[in-house]
Amino acid sequence: MKTSERIIEILLFLSAATAVMVVALIIIFLLKEGIPVLAKVGVANFCLGMNWNPIAIAGEPSYGIFPMIVASFYVAIGSLIIAVPLGITCAVFLAEIAPSWARSILKHAIELLVGIPSVILGFIGLVLLVPFIRDHFGGWGFSILTGSIILAIMALPRIISISDDAIRSVPREYKEASLALGATHWHTIRKVILPSARSGIVAAVILAMATSIGETMAVVMVTGSPSILPDPIYDILDPVRPMTSNIVLEMSYATGDHASALFATGIVLFVVVAVLNIISHKALKSKMGTRR
Amino acid sequence: MSEIEIESRNLDLWYGSAQALKKISMAMPEKKVTAIIGPSGCGKSTFIRCINRMNDLVKGCRITGELLFEGADIYGNDMDAVELRKKIGMVFQKPNPFPMSIYDNIAYGPRVHGLRNKEELDRIVEESLKASALWDEVGDLLDQSAVDLSGGQQQRLCIARTLAVKPKVILFDEPCSALDPISTAKIEDLINMLKHDYTIVIVTHNMQQAARVSDHTAFFLLGELVEFGKTKQIFELPDKKSTEDYITGRFG
């Protein structure tokens, strides 16, 4: 009995350890592959360099990914600008207004949306959205705007479901207190329910941003690929190359320092996403703290 | 004899198919305290929550019969629940201050109703806190979070918040069930003060409390009104056997 318990405990520990080990190994591998080029050109030059020219025909190759970092943030923030207002209003509707039958239909629809593989969204974006934007707004069609729209579609279900949870976990007593004072339902939502759910909603938004920055397939298919800043910088109809695209587009033929530079791009991506995830966790934690 | 403020006539209430209130008829006079007592699940909270239409939030809740406030049907087509709740305030079982400052809690109601003038708000906050005997304790701490107050202080804050809207009626739904005896005594003192200006309906499972604070008492059992009358009479000479059994502690 005692030994069998012991064995089970050890097995459980080993399975838990495996998950941690895998993460650790991935990080170690990423660092090992990426660090040589970072050491060679310098972290600052790599992150802030404007020029990405890994296979120089004449002269030295250069590895600057600043335009790609900007591109990643551009499409991610663009997606939030579209998805956050839509997502939060949808969550308010779901949590506060929808009758239960409408709620269950919407919930299922949103789950379906999560299940759509990103390559399909990318494909739809490529076939429908790119020509639409080209014809109606101008430019190539491959653009920050197109990427933002596709990413917004992907971010919506996540923002909706986490915000919905946050709104529904606001104590019912707050709502009753507000209504009993003669406030309308809308006033109660704006002044009591949303502020009480704020930290959960903020966490949802940051998490959505982290996933948007890390999203690859759909983005590659609709944003184009030039590794330069948009010109002028605010032109959202210009094509760009986010960090994820950089890796996907060049990994099949990169060797030596070039391959290392792609891994280094991965390191930067990993750090950005990790920081956003930590902030999102912190936001959720702070909610727990203030709740009685 | 004072005027009747709230009157219920043959009020029935169902949650889905379960009937929670059966033919409740009683009249609550103006500027008096009416206590509703009875064992758990007897419908007393359900009844009080009809008066300010809090049951509107409950899905599948259906009401028939008449419930009148100042002669107007609370469930009539032309009754606006939001307007009604301005006149009929409510203090809940569990103290439920908003997670905001003490000041903002009390100013919430007046702000809802469109008051923006800072001096006026300041005056209402002070008045309400004084009326709920909380000013001496928190007058200097108005910017502090209301959630940090003790349970009894939170409950008096909730009373102050209700007073700030200047209602005519205040409904108390077991206001002391989550409080210690000293805080309970303070709330009871407060109710005795408030009844000079407000019509009060209080639900309580504490019979001594009903005896101490109320002018009239209604005894509910299994969704029915068993007996309603002057508190003194209900406690000293009840008509019905079940009232006597409950009051003397034979069940409940």
Q: Which domain holds residue A123?
A: 65-290
Residue A282 domain-assigned?
A: yes
Give SS3 for A204. Answer: helix
Tens of pLDDT, residue by residue over B51-98, are: 999 998 888 899 999 999 999 999 999 999 999 999 999 999 999 999
As a whole-number percent, the residues of chain A with pLDDT over 90 amount to 83
H/E stretch holding A229 reads: none
- Burial tier of B247 (Cβ tally within 10 Å: 0-12, 13-18, 19+): buried
Closest approach of chain B CAs to the CA of A209, in angstroms?
28
Helices assigned H by DSSP within B75-206? 81-87, 102-112, 118-131, 135-138, 151-163, 181-194
Could B99 and A179 be called an inter-chain contact, meaning their C-beta atoms sit closer than 8 Å?
no
Evaluate the CA torsion angle A65, A71, A74, A78 in order and state its sign: negative
Helices assigned H by DSSP within B151-230? 151-163, 181-194, 207-213
B151, closest residue in chain A (CA to CA): A292
Give dist(CA A279, CA A158) in Å, integer.
Answer: 16
Could B158 and A176 be called an inter-chain contact, meaning their C-beta atoms sit closer than 8 Å?
no
Task: Kindly indicate whether the ipTM for this predicted assembly is greater than 0.85, answering yes or no.
Answer: yes
Render each residue's pLDDT in chain B as its tens digit; 252 residues.
Answer: 578 999 999 999 999 999 999 999 999 999 999 999 999 889 999 999 999 999 988 888 999 999 999 999 999 999 999 999 999 999 999 999 999 999 999 999 999 999 999 999 999 999 999 999 999 999 999 999 999 999 999 999 999 999 999 999 999 999 999 899 999 999 999 999 999 999 999 999 888 999 999 999 999 999 999 999 999 999 999 999 889 888 888 775
CB atoms within 10 A of CB B197: 13
Give SS3 for A261. Answer: helix
**Averaged pLDDT, A147-155:** 95
Closest approach of chain B CAs to the CA of A99, in angstroms?
9
Q: Under a CB-based contact definition with an 8 Å cutoff, are residues B174 and B205 in contact?
A: yes
List residues bridging with B9 in a β-sheet. B66
Q: Under a CB-based contact definition with an 8 Å cutoff, are residues A26 and A263 in contact?
A: no
Residue A48 domain-assigned?
A: no
Closest among B178, B191, B101 to B138, alpha carbons compared: B101
Residue A39 domain-assigned?
A: no
- Based on the structure, what is the number of domains in chain A? 1
Q: Among B82, B98, B161, whose Cβ lies nearest the Cβ of A192? A: B98
Give dist(CA A2, CA B208) in Å, integer.
Answer: 58
At A86 the pLDDT is 96
Could A179 and B98 be called an inter-chain contact, meaning their C-beta atoms sit closer than 8 Å?
no
Residue A144 domain-assigned?
A: yes
Enumerate residues 6+ apart whose C-beta is below 8 A from A157: A110, A111, A113, A114
At B79 the pLDDT is 92
Give dist(CA A102, CA A274) in Å, integer.
Answer: 36
At A292 the pLDDT is 36
Q: CB distance from B83 to chain A under 8 Å?
A: yes
Closest among A214, A218, A226 to A67, alpha carbons compared: A226
- Give the domain ranges of chain B: 4-41+51-238
For residue A60, is pLDDT > 90? no
For residue A16, is pLDDT > 60? yes
Chain A to chain B, count of Cβ pairs less than 8 Å apart?
65
Please enumerate residues of A whose Cβ is less than 8 A from a Cβ of B: 100, 171, 173-184, 187, 191-192, 195-196, 290, 292
Q: Among B85, B86, B98, whose Cβ lies nearest the Cβ of A174? A: B98
Q: Is B4-41+51-238 a CATH 1.10.1740.10 domain?
A: no
At A77 the pLDDT is 96
At B121 the pLDDT is 96
A96, closest residue in chain B (CA to CA): B57
- Which amino acid is present at A237? L
CATH of the domain at A149: 1.10.3720.10
Higher pLDDT among residues B201 and A287, named by residue: B201
At B104 the pLDDT is 95
Tens of pLDDT, residue by residue over A65-80, are: 999 999 999 999 999 9
For residue A180, is pLDDT > 60? yes
Q: CB distance from B92 to chain A under 8 Å?
A: yes
**Residues of chain B contacting residue A179, judged by C-beta atoms under 8 Å apart:** 54, 57, 85
Could A184 and B147 be called an inter-chain contact, meaning their C-beta atoms sit closer than 8 Å?
no
Work out the pLDDT band at A289, boundaries 50, 70, 90: very low
For residue A38, is pLDDT > 80? yes
* Token duo for residue B196: 């000079």
Give SS3 for B196. Answer: coil
Q: Under a CB-based contact definition with an 8 Å cutoff, are residues B187 and B106 in contact?
A: no
Give dist(CA B203, CA B37) in Å, integer.
Answer: 6
Work out the pLDDT band at A1, boundaries 50, 70, 90: low
Vertex A103: Cα angle to A100 and A107 (nearest 5): 140
* Token duo for residue B42: 């007897």
Could B85 and A187 be called an inter-chain contact, meaning their C-beta atoms sit closer than 8 Å?
no
For residue A288, is pLDDT > 60? no
Could A173 and B94 be called an inter-chain contact, meaning their C-beta atoms sit closer than 8 Å?
yes
**Averaged pLDDT, A211-237:** 90
Running DSSP on this structure, what letter comes out for residue B133?
A: T
What HEC string does A265-291 produce?
HHHHHHHHHHHHHHHHHHHHHHHHHHC
At B178 the pLDDT is 87
At A287 the pLDDT is 55
How distant, in Å, are the alpha carbons of B21, B49, B59, B164, B200 from that of B89? 22, 11, 22, 10, 10
Residue A208 domain-assigned?
A: yes
